[in-house]
Structure 1
Amino acid sequence: MKFLVKTQVLAIIFSILWALYVNLLAFFDQPERGLEYINYFVYGFAMLLGIIYFLLTKYIIGRKWLALPLILIPFFIIYQPAVLNFLLKMIKEGKGDIIHFLWLSTGTVHLMALIFGLAFGILFSRPELNR
């Protein structure tokens, strides 16, 4: 039961971090700020999130490959759409279109960062010694 709670908390944290990622991109996606550098922000923040996902997975889940479907399936089916709906309700009408566009357009980059962070976090964690 404790393992299932850990995986669900981790999936919720991942969806909240993705919402922060999209909000940061929407902040920089303004003509007076950094629109011409938006690709650098997309990949730079994705690499940063990949490292954060790696560390969270390594220290919270450990070397349990069963955690991958227990994190990814609820993340895509429950938490990600719920966070998107909550985020779109909280912001203004004009910004909602930008957030929704960035949510869809950066989804593959974020998915790759998520998968690499999860896989390498599980792969490079220390095996548990059962004594």
Structure 2
Amino acid sequence: MKYLVKSQVVSILMAFFWMICLAVLAFLDQPSRALQYINVFVYGFAILFAVIGFLLTKYFLGRNWFAVPLVLIPYFLLYQPVFQRSLVSIANDRYGGMIKFLAQSIGATYLLAAIFGLGLAILFTRPQIKG
């Protein structure tokens, strides 16, 4: 039960960071700002997202492949849509539309970053010896 709670905390933290990334990218995606550099920000945040997923998985969940579905399924089916709807609802129409567009256009990149971060954390975590 404790492991399930830890996996849900990791899912919620990843969804929260996803919302922060979307809000920052929507803020930067304006003609007078860094529009020509938006791909650099998208991939930079994706790498940061993978590193955060790596660290969260390594220190909270450890070496257990069962963590991947326990984190990713609630993250994509529950926490990400709920957090995204709440972010769109508090933003004005212009930013809300931009957030929806960015979520759809960069979602695959962040999916791969999340899987990559979780997988590497599980691979590079030492097994805990009980005894």
TM-score by length of 1: 0.97
Q: Equivalent residue for 1:30? A: 30
Measured in 2, the distance between the counterparts of 1:71 and 1:54 equals: 12
Displacement, 1:88? 0.9
Give 1:81-100 correspondences, 5 Å limit. Answer: 81-100=81-100
Which residue in 1 is equivalent to 2:115? 115
Aligned to 2:10: 10
> What is the identity percentage for the equivalent residue pairs of Structure 1 and Structure 2?
50
Aligned residue number for residue 106 of structure 1: 106
Counterparts of 2:49 and 2:26, CA distance in 1: 16
Q: Secondary structure, in 3 states, of the residue corresponding to 2:63?
A: coil
Match of 1:68 in 2: 68
Secondary structure of residue in 2 paired with 1:106: helix
Q: Which amino acid aligns with 1:115?
A: I
Count of residues in correspondence between the two structures: 131
Counterpart Cα distance in 2 of 1:33 and 1:93: 19
For residue 93 of structure 1, report the CA deviation from its aligned partner: 1.2
Residue 56 of structure 1 deviates from its aligned partner by 1.0
Amino acid at match of 1:104: Q
| Structure 1: gaps spanning 5 or more residues | none
Give 1:130 deviation, angstroms: 1.5
Q: Which runs of 4+ in 1 moved over 3 A?
A: none
Cα deviation digits, residues 16-69 of structure 1 (max 9, x gap): 111111111111101111001111111111111111111111111110111111
Distance in 1 between residues matched to 2:36 and 2:124, nearest whole Å: 37
TM-score, normalisation: structure 2 = 0.97
- Please give the root-mean-square deviation of Cα atoms over the aligned residues, in Å: 0.8
